[in-house]
Amino acid sequence: MSRSRARQLGNLPAEVTSFVGRRAEIAEVKRLLSRSRLVTLTGVGGVGKTRLALRVAEQARRSFADGVWLVELAKLQDMRLLPDLVASTLGIADQTVRDRVEVLADFLADRRLLLVLDHCEHLVPAVAQLVVELLPAAPGLRVLATSREDLQVFAEHLYPLAPLAVPAGQGPLGAAAGVRYPALALFAERAAAVDQGFAVSDANAVLVAGVCQRLEGIPLAIELAAARLRSLSLAQVAERLDDRFRLLSSGNRAALARHQTLRAAVDWSFELCTKPERLLWMRAFVFASSFDLPAAEGVCGGDGLPVDEVVEALTGLVAKSVLVPVTDRSRADDSLAGGDSTLGATGCWTRCASTGWIACAPSTPRIRGTASPWWTRRRCAAGTATPT
């Protein structure tokens, strides 16, 4: 097949907005994809998994003579229809009653093709099953998946995607920060779309950096905040970040429904959680940032979440990218009264992937407006947590 024909094959959409940063990430995912037949980009909602996957796929086109194909799963509710959706995306016209997975396996058997399975988190068992059946049947197939939750299959190589870099600390910054830090660059790009001429300058760099830091470098949140410059000044956006659910409540109507507001993005993850995971998520917002297993058990266990089930709920929240393990001991020590002794005892510390997101987790009557919140009692008993 000629090179130009190979370039035509596939269905990747053209980018509608500018792409910022991620050079190292693109290189790393491409490297992983050259070694592993299944790579899953995981990470908190809005961190940029889809954008990164599409960039990588675009750049990897030449390696796949039979094309690079995006299968968009966000709107698929019935997981039994997954093989049909993949087949129709690939343009397979098979009107027989043959098993769809078999049809797919036959079609893919001698093809060299990259499947990008975008938004797998609500269909994890079905995607895992499909991939496990297709990979052995089709040696030229590679899969790049995006999911808030990993697929947990043997062949999977996980790539947890971090937010965009923001300046550390609160030191002086100049206009150059808008180039140096991708989070600031993204804010400036999106701000300029609604506030002509907006740019990171010596005068506003600290304020822009503050906004991006508060939003922890999450691209979706940064875009929603920048869109607010339509009607608010930068200082007003910065001031209102305490109530970010209200502030970040309108964005791009063309985006996925769950990307139109911050609440929708969080709710999507929340709906995918089990009941114990939801309870732990809501209760974990009493921690200022990081906490360990004994603290989670002491503070969050009970009242519908048995203490011996906390570890499983915690594991589930980590798998779903709601919580992330803390690997940097000094950061954990900073924010916890518990200190090293607990670290040694458990070896398992976790931190909110994005404190703000957790702190804004869907509230319940139990937490909202209770005169004497349940966690105040528990916090005193546990003694290791730092409440917000």
Residue with the shortest CB distance to ligand ATP: 48
Pairing of strands 68-72, 290-292: unpaired
- Rg of the chain, C-alpha, whole Å: 22
- Total chain residues near ligand ATP (CB under 6 A): 24
**Pseudo-torsion of CA 330, 332, 337, 340, nearest 10°?**
-60
d(CA 135, CA 126): 14
As a residue count, the chain comes to: 388
Among 48-56, 60-68, 82-90, 134-142, the segment contacting ligand ATP (CB under 6 A): 48-56
At closest approach, how far in Å is the CB of 302 from ligand ATP?
Answer: 31
Contacts of 15 by beta carbon, 8 Å cutoff, 6+ apart: 54
H or E segment to which residue 379 belongs: helix 374-382
Q: Residue 264 or 311: which CB sits closer to ligand ATP? A: 264
CB-CB contact of 92 with 45 (8 Å) = no
d(CA 216, CA 45): 12
- 272: closest CA among 52, 162, 120, 143? 120
Residue with tokens 């009653």: 97
CB-CB contact of 173 with 187 (8 Å) = no
Give the x/- contact pattern for ligand ATP in 182-201, rule: CB under 6 A: ----x---------------
At closest approach, how far in Å is the CB of 360 from Mg ion?
Answer: 20
320 touches ligand ATP (CB under 6 A):
no
Residue 148's binding partner, choosing from ligand ATP, Mg ion, none, with beta-carbon cut-off 5 to 8 A by kind?
A: ligand ATP
Residue 61, token pair as written in the block: 């086109």
At closest approach, how far in Å is the CB of 229 from ligand ATP?
Answer: 16
Among 39-47, 122-130, 199-207, 339-347, the segment contacting ligand ATP (CB under 6 A): 39-47
Residue 379's binding partner, choosing from Mg ion, ligand ATP, none, with beta-carbon cut-off 5 to 8 A by kind?
A: none
Among 50-58, 65-73, 89-97, 272-280, the segment contacting Mg ion (CB under 5 A): 50-58
Among 17-25, 41-49, 165-173, 305-313, the segment contacting Mg ion (CB under 5 A): 41-49
Applying the rule CB under 6 A, the residues between 65 and 124 that interact with ligand ATP are: 119
Contact with Mg ion (CB under 5 A) among 40, 50, 290, 321: 50
Most distant pair of Cα atoms in the chain: their distance:
71
Contact with ligand ATP (CB under 6 A) among 9, 11, 12, 21: 21
d(CA 336, CA 339): 6
CB-CB contact of 235 with 207 (8 Å) = yes
Among 219-227, 232-240, 277-285, 356-364, the segment contacting ligand ATP (CB under 6 A): 219-227
d(CA 202, CA 175): 5
Residue 219's binding partner, choosing from ligand ATP, Mg ion, none, with beta-carbon cut-off 5 to 8 A by kind?
A: ligand ATP
Interface residues with Mg ion (CB under 5 A)? 49-50
Give the footprint of ligand ATP on this chain (CB under 6 A): 17, 19-22, 43, 45-51, 119, 146, 148, 186, 219-220, 223, 255, 258-259, 265
